[in-house]
Structure 1
Amino acid sequence: MRNLIGICAAGLLAVSVAGCGSSPTDRAISGGLIGAGLGAGTAAVTGGSIGTGVLIGGLGGAVIGGVTSDRDIDAGRPVWKR
C-alpha cells in the first residue's frame, strides 16, 4: 500500500508542475518539485527512504532546471503563472 501511495503522489506532483517556465528561477522550482516527486516515488517502489529520495530528487531537479534554458527543454508556462 505504501508503494502505491508513493507512486500516485509522484505522478500527481509531476503533472501539477509540468510547466517549467522560461526564467532560471521558475525552471529550478518546477524542476525541484518534479525531482522531489519522482525521488519519493522511486524510493517508495524500491523500499528506500522516502525522505532521502525527496531530498536527492529535489536537489537534482532544481540544479538541472536552473542550469538548462528554455531552448534546451521547454515544457511551457508554469502552472503558478497561468
Structure 2
Amino acid sequence: MSIIKKLATPALALTLVISLSACAGMSRQDKSTAIGAGIGAVAGSVLTGGSPVGTVGGAAVGGVIGNQVEKHR
C-alpha cells in the first residue's frame, strides 16, 4: 500500500504539468470551453451527489456555455 502512495503523488504532479502545458496553444475560446467544462463537471457532481451522469452532463453544459460566452466577446 505504501508503494502506491509513493507513486501516486509524482504521477499526479506529472499529469498536472502535462495537462497545463497542453493549454499553451489554445485560443481564448478553447480555454473558456475547457474552464466551463471543468466548472460544470464540479457543479454537476455536487448537485447530483457524485453521480457520473451528473458530472458528465455538467461538463457538457459548462463547456457549451464557456464556448458561447467567449464567442460573443
One fold, TM greater than 0.5?
Answer: yes
Structure with the larger helix share: 2
The structural deviation recorded for 1:67 is: 1.0
> Amino acid of the residue matched to residue 31 of structure 1?
G
* TM superposition score normalised by structure 1: 0.51
Identity value in percent? 26
Distance 1:66 1:41 in 2: 22
SS in 1 for 2:70: coil
Higher RCO (CA 8 Å, separation ≥ 6 residues): 1
Gaps in structure 1 of 5+ consecutive residues: 1-21, 73-82
* TM superposition score normalised by structure 2: 0.57
Distance 1:62 1:31 in 2: 5
Q: How many residues align?
A: 47
* Alignment partner, residue 23 of structure 1: 28
Distance 1:42 1:36 in 2: 10
> Amino acid of the residue matched to residue 57 of structure 2?
I
Give the greater-gyration-radius structure (CA).
Answer: 2
The structural deviation recorded for 1:40 is: 0.2
> Amino acid of the residue matched to residue 51 of structure 1?
P
Distance 1:63 1:70 in 2: 11
* Alignment partner, residue 67 of structure 1: 68
RMSD: 2.1
* Alignment partner, residue 52 of structure 1: 53
The structural deviation recorded for 1:70 is: 7.9
